[in-house]
């Protein structure tokens, strides 16, 4: 019945700017746009479900900025992107100006992991298992 997680959604202040950052910095591409709003779906796959996707939605309600919510408070705190060569991906992101939240560590279940924030403060990880 259920086959996969299709996408996760991020409400953001500037959909176009954040979409551009994800595409330029993390190699995603625009997969689809909403007909009557600024929402977009970006990712590595396509609309049939191949590959990871994010929906970026225009923020309409007030609330705390992502960086103001403690990293281990209840709720969704990050998403992780799998990489095939951790050290190369880590170095490439650093060269693109990404500031990591600490040194690489060991992922739950094994492998290397490192966390950083997108321009709006959402936590993202790279992981190699």
Residue showing tokens 């960086």: 67
* 52: nearest Cα among 1, 126, 108, 117: 126
Q: Where exactly does CATH 3.10.180.10 map onto the chain?
A: 1-61, 76-129
pLDDT for 47: 66
**CATH class entry, domain 76-129:** alpha beta
What does the pLDDT average to over 49-78? 91
Question: What is the rounded average pLDDT of the residues 70-93?
Answer: 95
pLDDT of residue 2: 85
CA distance 77 to 25: 20
pLDDT number for residue 36: 84
User: CA distances (Å), 98 to each of 1, 6, 39, 90, in order?
Assistant: 39, 26, 25, 9
pLDDT in tens, 6-43: 889 999 999 999 999 999 999 999 999 988 888 999 99
Question: What is the pLDDT, as a whole number, of residue 49?
Answer: 62
In this predicted structure, the answer to whether residue 116 has a pLDDT above a threshold of 70 is: yes
CATH tag, 1-61: 3.10.180.10
For the chain, what is the mean pLDDT?
93
């Amino acid at each position: 019945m259920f086959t996969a997680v299709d996408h996760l959604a991020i409400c953001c202040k500037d959909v176009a700017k954040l979409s551009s950052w994800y595409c330029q910095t993390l190699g995603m591409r625009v997969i689809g746009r909403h007909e009557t709003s600024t929402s977009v779906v970006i990712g590595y796959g396509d609309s049939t479900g191949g590959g990871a996707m994010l929906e970026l939605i225009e923020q309409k309600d007030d609330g705390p900025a992502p960086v103001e919510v403690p990293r281990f408070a209840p709720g969704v705190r990050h998403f992780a992107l799998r990489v095939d060569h951790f050290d190369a991906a880590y170095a490439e992101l650093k060269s693109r100006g990404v500031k990591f939240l600490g040194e690489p560590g060991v992922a739950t279940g094994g492998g290397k992991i490192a966390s950083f924030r997108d321009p709006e403060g959402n936590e993202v990880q790279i992981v190699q298992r």
